[in-house]
Amino acid sequence: MLKSKTFLKKTRAGGVMKIVREHYLRDDIGCGAAGCTACGGAHEGPALEPQPQDLASSLCPQPHYLLPDTNVLLHQIDVLEDPAIRNVIVLQTVLQEVRNRSAPVYKRIRDVTNNQEKHFYTFTNEHHRETYVEQEKGENANDRNDRAIRVAAKWYNEHLKKMSTDNQLQVIFITNDRKNKEKAVEEGIPAFTCEEYIKSLTANPELIDRLACLSEEGNEIESGKIIFSEHLPLSKLQQGIKSGTYLQGTFRASRENYLEATVWIHGDNEENKEIILQGLKHLNRAIHEDIVAVELLPKSQWVAPSSVVLHDEGQNEDDVEKEEEREQMLKTAVSEKMLKPTGRVVGIIKRNWRPYCGMLSKSDIKESRRHLFTPADKRIPRIRIETRQASTLEGRRIIVAIDGWPRNSRYPNGHFVKNLGDVGEKETETEVLLLEHDVPHQPFSQAVLSFLPKMPWSITEKDMKNREDLRHLCICSVDPPGCTDIDDALHCRELENGNLEVGVHIADVSHFIRPGNALDQESARRGTTVYLCEKRIDMVPELLSSNLCSLKCDVDRLAFSCIWEMNHSAEILKTKFTKSVINSKASLTYAEAQLRIDSANIRDDITTSLRGLNKLAKILKKRRIEKGALTLSSPEVRFHMDSETHDPIDLQTKELRETNSMVEEFMLLANISVAKKIHEEFSEHALLRKHPAPPPSNYEILVKAARSRNLEIKTDTAKSLAESLDQAESPTFPYLNTLLRILATRCMMQAVYFCSGMDNDFHHYGLASPIYTHFTSPIRRYADVIVHRLLAVAIGADCTYPELTDKHKLADICKNLNYRHKMAQYAQRASVAFHTQLFFKSKGLVSEEAYILFVRKNAIVVLIPKYGLEGTVFFEEKDKPNPRLIYDDEIPSLKIEDTVFHVFDKVKVKIMLDSSNLQHQKLRMSLVEPQIPGISLPPDDISNMNLNGPEKKKMKLEK
């Protein structure tokens, strides 16, 4: 049966176009119930069970299927994903509405419907002759869809009666819309709210915890005192943004101070790019990463960023007076130039909530079901949840989702989603840090794995097309120990004309990952391989990363080669790019390569090649530094693991050798050469990488710190910064230069990927290069895969495809890659922090020398060179008299009683694992030297420190 709609549409040219929309209605669409004789097996794929037995509902004791409306799917997806909920009918009307309103929920619903064990069935009601409804005159789309859902529910109940005379099967309509429910009941459809139905499942009480609490009024706490001002409706916000009354931006909460945040304003307006918010009422229920509208306060109310470290650790949930006291701490007299544009949140444009990992702070009230959840991410406020399993969840890592934040509640409301496991356990903590940093880490799906080459794999004649055979060359790779995903290999040989030929050979990953297939999409989504302390989350499946793409020695591998002809002064005379086949003659570690170069009695081809490369690399590095490239420093640590328990038994800073630098120089050279080539060929859609110059204000901390040591750091250009860092030496304090370089690293901007057609500034500040890209690590970075594809098209070795030459698509890819790289970096740091804690847990108390990196109003931040470890020494503690503190921002310095601390001062600190807060177990540092009465610890006494909190918690941790 065919329905058609006809309407007229005006074209851009002013003409009129007649559009006919045809809508086919069928009577061969199955109901999804297995064994339904009326449908005769018209449906395919996952089906509903003929006799659902699993749910014992006190409201509906007979067997039944569930049919939820759109809002239930959108807001109660955590309940629907629970294994206890099965046999659910998802209507096409509902699915389409969900797809339009929330892409993440739509994806989760698709995953659930594909899970055969869940028995979710998608019913195409919009194309079924008996369930299709047309929009009536005066009826809005929402009401029409509600009616369509009720019609489908009614049809199901009548249809199921035909299955057999004694059949008691029912379809229960689940809706939280009061009017819709009333209409359904009038029409004889069994209907309940989600809460009513879930509470009726007596055998599954744990499901109640997963219910999202939606009605904000119903959840407003009894006190009823309004704390926050009302959020303005979206229409008013849009008008205000248009007129310039309000500004739109991204809300960024502070890790160090829960009463402070900044809003990064969207758009190109250079003035007021960043707005400060201070105090609970001005933050007005915005949560980290929300898109908000802010109103700028008058200049008389502007504030300076606070130097106070404040964490929300109060037990009394709604003690707002206490908050106001703490807000006063933030306001101190500062010079006018320190004041920053200050504002308040007037409304939320888009919530960016996600499920949060953390721990339950169990209520002190006995039998209470209301508890506070403390997220692992300190930028997220605590969340109030209701749960009956508080005693089970105590000491566990759990996931909670936010449902809403009423105006009269100090904290948002949420619900329990999942129990991850015991706190402190390696598997649990690794899962937490991957989830918290949004690192995709699920096993690769079958759809992705289906695009891998079939084993045994070998190079065919077809593969050799447009490829050069370089298997005769003496190529070798140099990598860290234990590396299995070898991206790059090198060679150097003398030519007959006396010049040198140098080759950088990179794994040809784009040969195996073809554009647009599931493997390509998954690699693009992941964006990068994430290296944790003892785990690697691959961007591509292991068959490629550790085998077919890895340039292991003594096997033939496909590569993409960049080959230069150079003179002995490392000047490039010719550059050639070619797809190739190579056979690496050795896979060396940096230490092994260094040993060969240094041993005068080794003279084989590999060693000769390495010596040639090393000599050229030194010249290249010298030339690069002369141009103004920066040599910065960041303390990197390496753990030595116990082979049985995999616990860290030693911790030391990484040692860098000449060979590290040698490989780096040629990778940089290859990346620059490829960047020039792809930009020549594709000026509008080359994928490049830039490093913006930091704004002068970023350097303030570095300049002040150097000045306190009578040293001058010039920051007008990268070259002057590099030169002044080279000259900033102190014969009596050799480590000072490293500290300055570490501090300089903190002043830098983040390097980013971008599309050449969407930007004018290509310069890479840190490398002092006018153009740069990433070509040399395609096994672990998706950016390099795109660059390989561009280069392959440029040299005629592969064909192009539409997305490759679409600058908007490329800009979207860059945006995702920048996000994934940033998150991978944070996840790696979190992994190092966790393993450092494990190390000190087994080591007990340690006293070490440290240097001050920053001074704050009530703390100093120190670096311990031996472990490459950073930590904060606080001088104000709960339940202790506060010392006399005088903070001077100009020098910067902090005077405690009669002792003055400056940046780079040497101190001695005691390091211990503080487990008094299970959620944020942290390394606690206390001052040992210089001795300040009442502040410093005696070198051999920590009896005054309760590091394990309550005994019960201590037991739990040592399980």
**Overall average pLDDT of the 374-395 stretch:** 86
* 56 three-state secondary structure: coil
| Ramachandran bin of 682, using left for φ above 0, alpha for ψ from -120 to 50, beta for the remaining angles | beta
* 83 three-state secondary structure: coil
Facing residues of 489 across strands? 505
Tokens of 481: 């120990």
pLDDT of 917 higher than 80: no
**Overall average pLDDT of the 41-70 stretch:** 77
d(CA 267, CA 291): 13
Top-confidence residue, 157 or 4: 157
pLDDT confidence of residue 94 = 92
Tokens of 147: 């009616």
Sign of the alpha-carbon torsion through 211, 213, 218, 223: positive
CA-angle at 172, arms to 166 and 175, nearest 5°: 170
Q: What would the pLDDT profile of 738-760 be if each residue is shown by its tens digit?
A: 888 888 888 888 899 999 988 88
DSSP track, 573-627? EEEEEEEEEEEBSEEEEHHHHHHHHH-TT--SHHHHHHHHHHHHHHHHHHHHHHH
d(CA 573, CA 616): 14
pLDDT confidence of residue 564 = 96
pLDDT of 501 higher than 60: yes
pLDDT confidence of residue 363 = 73
Long-range residue pairs from 920-928, CB within 8 A, at least 24 positions apart, any chain? 920/376, 920/378, 921/423, 921/424, 921/837, 921/957, 922/837, 923/836, 923/837, 923/840, 923/869, 923/871, 924/871, 925/850, 925/862, 925/871, 925/872, 925/873, 926/873, 927/873, 928/847
pLDDT confidence of residue 335 = 59
pLDDT of 645 higher than 60: no
- What's the whole-model pTM score? 0.77
Banded model confidence at residue 537, pLDDT cuts 50, 70, 90: very high
pLDDT of 952 higher than 50: no
d(CA 227, CA 280): 9
CA-angle at 912, arms to 908 and 918, nearest 5°: 145
Q: What does the CA dihedral 141, 146, 148, 150 come to, rounded to 10 degrees?
A: -170
Task: Select the highest-mean-pLDDT range: 55-64, 145-154, 207-216.
Answer: 145-154
Q: What does the CA dihedral 129, 130, 136, 141 come to, rounded to 10 degrees?
A: -80
Tokens of 682: 């594709």
pLDDT confidence of residue 321 = 60
> How many angstroms separate the Cα of 842 from the Cα of each of 126, 838, 956?
63, 7, 16
**Overall average pLDDT of the 423-431 stretch:** 88
How many other C-beta atoms can be found within 10 angstroms of the C-beta atom of residue 18? 8
pLDDT confidence of residue 888 = 81
CB 74 within 8 A of CB 59: no
d(CA 49, CA 52): 6
pLDDT confidence of residue 400 = 92
pLDDT confidence of residue 525 = 94
**Tokens 């040219």 -> residue:** 13
pLDDT of 769 higher than 70: yes
pLDDT confidence of residue 343 = 92
d(CA 57, CA 869): 56
pLDDT confidence of residue 328 = 63
pLDDT of 135 higher than 80: yes
CB 756 within 8 A of CB 772: no
Banded model confidence at residue 217, pLDDT cuts 50, 70, 90: very low
pLDDT of 3 higher than 70: no
pLDDT confidence of residue 732 = 79
**All domains in the chain, ordered by first residue:** 43-210 (3.40.50.1010), 234-311+336-437 (2.40.50.690), 446-455+462-691+752-826 (no CATH), 696-747 (no CATH), 844-929 (2.40.50.140)
pLDDT confidence of residue 426 = 87
Contacting residues for 545 by C-beta, under 8 A, at least 6 apart: 484, 485, 529, 538, 539, 779, 780
Phi, psi of 779 (to 5 degrees): -70, -30
Contacting residues for 913 by C-beta, under 8 A, at least 6 apart: 837, 840, 841, 921, 922, 923, 924, 947
Long-range residue pairs from 184-189, CB within 8 A, at least 24 positions apart, any chain? 184/150, 184/153, 187/150, 187/154, 188/154, 188/157, 189/150, 189/153, 189/154, 189/157
**Overall average pLDDT of the 55-84 stretch:** 86
pLDDT of 216 higher than 50: no
Which range is least confidently modeled, 303-307, 321-325, 659-663?
321-325
pLDDT of 520 higher than 90: yes
pLDDT of 221 higher than 50: no
pLDDT of 635 higher than 80: no
pLDDT confidence of residue 323 = 63
Phi, psi of 817 (to 5 degrees): -65, -40
**Overall average pLDDT of the 35-57 stretch:** 69
3-state per-residue secondary structure call for 280-332: HHHHCCCCCCCEEEEEECCHHHCECCCCCCECCCCCCCCCHHHHHHHHHHHCC
CB 172 within 8 A of CB 191: yes
Considering only CA atoms, which of 294, 242, 240, 237 is closest in space to residue 265?
A: 294
Tokens of 578: 């070619």
Q: What would the pLDDT profile of 142-187 be if each residue is shown by its tens digit?
A: 889 999 999 999 998 888 887 765 667 889 999 988 899 999 999 9
Mean confidence (pLDDT) of the chain = 84
**Tokens 């393993």 -> residue:** 835
pLDDT of 801 higher than 80: yes
**Overall average pLDDT of the 23-42 stretch:** 75
d(CA 299, CA 276): 12
d(CA 593, CA 492): 14
DSSP track, 844-866? --EEEEEEEEEE-SSEEEEEETT
d(CA 868, CA 950): 31
* 520 three-state secondary structure: helix
Which range is least confidently modeled, 40-54, 492-506, 673-687, 771-785?
40-54
Considering only CA atoms, which of 161, 93, 98 is closest in space to residue 123?
A: 93
**Overall average pLDDT of the 375-383 stretch:** 89
pLDDT confidence of residue 24 = 80
CB 929 within 8 A of CB 908: yes
